[in-house]
Amino acid sequence: MGKPTGFIEHRREVATEAAPLVRIGHWKEFATPLTDDKLQTQGSRCMDCGIPFCHTGALISGMAAGCPVNNLIPEWNDLVYRGQWREALDRLHKTNNFPEFTGRVCPAPCEGSCTVGLKDTPVTIKSIEKAIIDKGFAEGWIRPEPPEVRTGKKVAVVGSGPSGLAAAAQLNKAGHWVTVFERADRVGGLLMYGIPNMKLDKKYVQRRVDLLEAEGVTFITGAHVGVNYPIEKLQEEFDAIVLCGGATKGRDLPIEGRELGGVHLAMEFLSKNTKSLLDSEHADGEFISAEGKDVIVIGGGDTGTDCVGTSLRHKCKSVTQFEIMPKSPETRPANNPWPEWPKVLKVDYGQQEAAAVQGEDPRQYLINTKKFVGDEHGNLKELHTVLIEWQKNEKGAFVPVEVPGSEKVYPAQLVLIAMGFTGPENTVLDQLGVVKDERSNAKAEYGKFATSVEGVFAAGDMRRGQSLVVWAINEGRAVAREVDRYLMGSSNLP
């Protein structure tokens, strides 16, 4: 149970990060991990409390409370504390196929639900998770483990993001022949092209893909199912199909001037940047450059933060981030009690870097963009905004109301729309005839994952809508169990 007095004797400590002004000069990860002895000390702070919430993965107030893949957190914290790293890796892999991804990009709802966090700082769970998996690869403990027996059944997985990779990994373990179809030129989906390299180095994605390939999973890139790869061929050649195409349809901002040059969806900006970086270290020029430009990022989530950090690495002239919501409180309000996800002010890496360069946090709150204005060449030169207040309407719902006299004009040559995603693209769903839910996602009940079409299953963001990487892994593992049951009559998959 760790050390009963560990959380009293030791303070929380996390990995150190390179100074913002240093790290914006490169595209590499910038955290220096804690030493093994410090990590063991941090593990001692976890005391396997009577009713731990860190691994529950429950949805409370619409957000994850605890780990959605139900990681056995108290167990591997204790093992790390005792120096039993190999055993800790075994426990970690029981629930999570890809700790090297979640240990880097997950917002750690487990820490938000840590019991120590009730009165003190939570256990540094995320850092310990990342350390366990990195040590496992460094020590050579992680090797290909192809199944000893094959069933002869063939499964197609459409999409190679975290849900598709998790589904493929589990179905391969069950002995099925799995082929993953990816429309891009590299495998990984969101992990490869949606998350910047300094946040998730692509060598870690490729390392896991290579491992899956060595275990028997087949990957076909450049295969856009329903476009250059016929749906009918998939249905003819495979015993089951798993749709894991993600929720890639970006929420747009259809206001005056949207057609101007220099106004882009965030994912276009981020994906082209990473592809050019991997292809040529930006020598090919095949990306949207923010260099020397006044950049406005519209949207306050993780994608917006990634746009801020990327723009700074391009050496933009300035970067400002618009949020239509009010600034979050610095501590939990009364209506956001533990173990809910703490809805408090988060200063992420992008905001830290912008503040170091510009002298202040780049975020502007309660602001709404009214129109984009261009120059005589059809390129963006400025945008017009107004401040808003959230007020209740006659139905009791909060709506934005403009503040009179608060209009302002911002110079801008590049606008990045990072307002989230509205759902999956329709090509595959429409050609297969899959029934959609009211949010345009593939309609498939959680826990069963079967769509309206026989032998076709859906998981991840394509089924649940935009969500976390850890939820995608949860659904990928779960859909694999249901597909295995569909093919074999029963399943031993966890």
Q: 310 and 286 in contact (C-beta within 8 Å)? A: no
Close Cβ partners of 454 (under 8 Å, ≥ 6 residues apart): none
Q: 129 and 99 in contact (C-beta within 8 Å)? A: yes
Q: 14 and 124 in contact (C-beta within 8 Å)? A: yes
Exposed/middle/buried for residue 12 (C-beta within 10 Å: 0-12, 13-18, 19+): middle
With respect to residue 494, please indicate whether it lies within any of the assigned structural domains. no
Q: 316 and 295 in contact (C-beta within 8 Å)? A: yes
pLDDT classification of 12: cutoffs 50, 70, 90 = very high
Coil/strand/helix, residue 376: coil
pLDDT tens string 308-327:
999 999 999 999 999 999 99
Amino acid at 374: G
CATH number of the CATH domain containing 63: 1.10.1060.10
Comparing C-alpha atoms, which of 162, 262, 145 is closest to residue 211? 145
Q: 493 and 173 in contact (C-beta within 8 Å)? A: yes
What does the pLDDT average to over 111-134?
A: 95
pLDDT tens string 186-232:
999 999 999 999 999 999 999 999 999 999 999 999 999 999 999 99
Give me 253's structure tokens: 């901002």
Structural domains of the chain, count: 3
Q: Is the pLDDT of residue 73 over 70?
A: yes
Return the DSSP state at 115.
Answer: G
- Which of 68, 103, 138 lies at the terminal end of a domain, its last residue? 138
pLDDT tens string 334-365:
999 999 999 999 999 999 999 999 999 999 99
What's the whole-number average pLDDT of the chain? 96
The CA-CA-CA angle for residues 411, 318, 320, to 5°, reads 75
**Separation of alpha carbons 70 and 293, rounded Å:** 44
Close Cβ partners of 25 (under 8 Å, ≥ 6 residues apart): 313
Q: Clarify whether residues 225 and 279 are in a common domain.
A: no
Q: Clarify whether residues 273 and 347 are in a common domain.
A: yes
| Torsion sign across C-alpha atoms 284, 286, 287, 292 | positive
Place of tokens 């600034």: 327
CATH number of the CATH domain containing 474: 3.50.50.60
Give me 72's structure tokens: 């056995």
In this prediction, residue 453 carries a pLDDT of 98
Instruction: Give the CA count within 13 Å in the CB-facing half-sphere of 479.
Output: 39
Q: Clarify whether residues 411 and 460 are in a common domain.
A: no
Give me 166's structure tokens: 């998790």
Q: 484 and 238 in contact (C-beta within 8 Å)? A: no
User: Pairing between strand 154-158 and 414-417?
Assistant: unpaired
With respect to residue 285, please indicate whether it lies within any of the assigned structural domains. yes
With respect to residue 444, please indicate whether it lies within any of the assigned structural domains. yes
With respect to residue 493, please indicate whether it lies within any of the assigned structural domains. no
Q: Clarify whether residues 308 and 358 are in a common domain.
A: yes
pLDDT classification of 4: cutoffs 50, 70, 90 = confident
Q: 380 and 261 in contact (C-beta within 8 Å)? A: yes
Return the DSSP state at 403.
Answer: P
What does the pLDDT average to over 169-196?
A: 98
**Separation of alpha carbons 256 and 384, rounded Å:** 10
Q: Count Cβ atoms below 10 Å from residue 211 Cβ, excluding itself.
A: 16
Query: Any idea of the CA torsion for 98, 104, 106, 107, to the nearest 10 degrees?
Result: 160
Taking each continuous run of H as one helix and of E as one strand, the counts in the chain are 17, 20
pLDDT classification of 64: cutoffs 50, 70, 90 = confident
In this prediction, residue 1 carries a pLDDT of 67
**Separation of alpha carbons 357 and 21, rounded Å:** 7
- With a pLDDT cut of 90, the percent of the chain lying above it is 94
Of the given ranges (58-67, 133-142, 174-183, 361-370), which has the lowest mean pLDDT?
58-67
With respect to residue 430, please indicate whether it lies within any of the assigned structural domains. yes
In this prediction, residue 2 carries a pLDDT of 72
Owning domain of residue 202: 154-248+422-488
Q: Clarify whether residues 381 and 436 are in a common domain.
A: no
Q: Clarify whether residues 110 and 230 are in a common domain.
A: no
In this prediction, residue 199 carries a pLDDT of 97
- With a pLDDT cut of 70, the percent of the chain lying above it is 100
Q: Clarify whether residues 104 and 168 are in a common domain.
A: no
Q: Clarify whether residues 274 and 411 are in a common domain.
A: yes
Close Cβ partners of 263 (under 8 Å, ≥ 6 residues apart): 257, 372, 380, 415, 417
With respect to residue 335, please indicate whether it lies within any of the assigned structural domains. yes
- Which of 419, 437, 465 lies at the terminal end of a domain, its last residue? 419
Of the given ranges (47-51, 110-114, 455-459), which has the lowest mean pLDDT?
47-51
**Separation of alpha carbons 318 and 412, rounded Å:** 9
The H or E element containing residue 109 is: helix 109-112
In this prediction, residue 177 carries a pLDDT of 98
In this prediction, residue 354 carries a pLDDT of 98
Q: Clarify whether residues 268 and 411 are in a common domain.
A: yes
Name the pTM for this structure. Answer: 0.96
- Which of 390, 419, 448 lies at the terminal end of a domain, its last residue? 419
In this prediction, residue 5 carries a pLDDT of 86
**Separation of alpha carbons 456 and 90, rounded Å:** 32
Find residue 323's DSSP bridge partners.
365
Q: Clarify whether residues 385 and 258 are in a common domain.
A: yes
With respect to residue 439, please indicate whether it lies within any of the assigned structural domains. yes
pLDDT classification of 51: cutoffs 50, 70, 90 = confident
pLDDT classification of 62: cutoffs 50, 70, 90 = confident
Give me 244's structure tokens: 């894991």
Q: Clarify whether residues 332 and 448 are in a common domain.
A: no
Q: Is the pLDDT of residue 151 over 70?
A: yes
Instruction: Give the CA count within 13 Å in the CB-facing half-sphere of 160.
Output: 29
Q: Clarify whether residues 16 and 134 are in a common domain.
A: yes
Comparing C-alpha atoms, which of 119, 96, 116 is closest to residue 468? 96
With respect to residue 146, please indicate whether it lies within any of the assigned structural domains. no
